[in-house]
A = this chain, B = another copy of it.
Amino acid sequence: MTQQLTEQQKELIEKIGVFHEQNGMQPLMGRILGLLLVLDDAEATFDEIIDYLKVSKSAVSTALNFMQIKKQVAYRTKPGERKRYFYLTIKHWERDVEKELLHIVEIKNLFKDVIAVRGDKKPEVNQSIHELCLFLEYLNTRIPVLFENFKKMLNKPQG
């Protein structure tokens, strides 16, 4: 029998799950993220996940495979054991946050298409869309700088 989760842990898993659900992630995946964050050893086997979250094998299998493709989750095995210990690839949080930032910028291409298609009946509107595109382009150039400067700040604090 797998160890019990505290009430606190359960609540937090749920909150994390709901947060990710609202961001378009499938419910179970959000809870697996929460579970692996909240567990002291930051990993769990297939059967432990089933046990903790009270879901079926197939649901867990599907969710984990998807999350592995998306590089959110990986697994290791312990010598002599066959079962997989799944864990979050949280050490690559930079890559993930960068992806989120780039995603904001992504819509720029659609706005460019919009500009190409629009007539000039409403110049103020065209101007707004144009400015937005300029900003997104600017933001795009600043993303790497944000990470660089953050690292600098970490090394020499109060800089």
Q: How many residues of A are counted as interface, with CB atoms below 8 angstroms from the partner's CB atoms? A: 50
Q: Per a CB cutoff under 8 Å, which of B22, B93, B118, B136 touches A132?
A: B93
Q: Taking the complex as formed, is A124 at the interface, i.e. its CB lies under 8 A from any CB of chain B?
A: yes
Q: Are A132 and B90 in contact (CB under 8 A)?
A: yes
For residue A59, CB closer than 8 A to chain B, the reply is: no
Q: Which of B37, B114, B135, B146 contacts A139 (CB 8 A)?
A: B146
User: At the interface, is chain A mostly helix, strand, loop or mixed?
Assistant: helix
Scan residues 108-136 of chain A and give those whose CB is less than 8 A from a CB of chain B: 110-111, 113-114, 117-119, 121-122, 124-125, 128-129, 131-132, 134-136
Q: Which residues of B contact A149 (CB under 8 A)?
A: 138
**Are B24 and A121 in contact, CB atoms less than 8 angstroms apart?**
no
Chain A 84-122 interface 0/1 with B at a Cβ cutoff of 8 Å (1 = within): 000000110110010011001001001101100111011
Task: Please measure, in the bound complex, the distance between the C-alpha atom of A150 and the C-alpha atom of B23, giving whole angstroms.
Answer: 28
A135 touches B97 (CB 8 A): yes
Q: CB-CB contacts of A14-26 with B at 8 A, as 1s and 0s?
A: 0110010011100
Which 10 A-B residue pairings sit nearest by Cβ, starting from the closest?
A: A24-B24, A40-B119, A93-B132, A42-B125, A40-B121, A42-B122, A90-B128, A91-B128, A37-B114, A138-B150
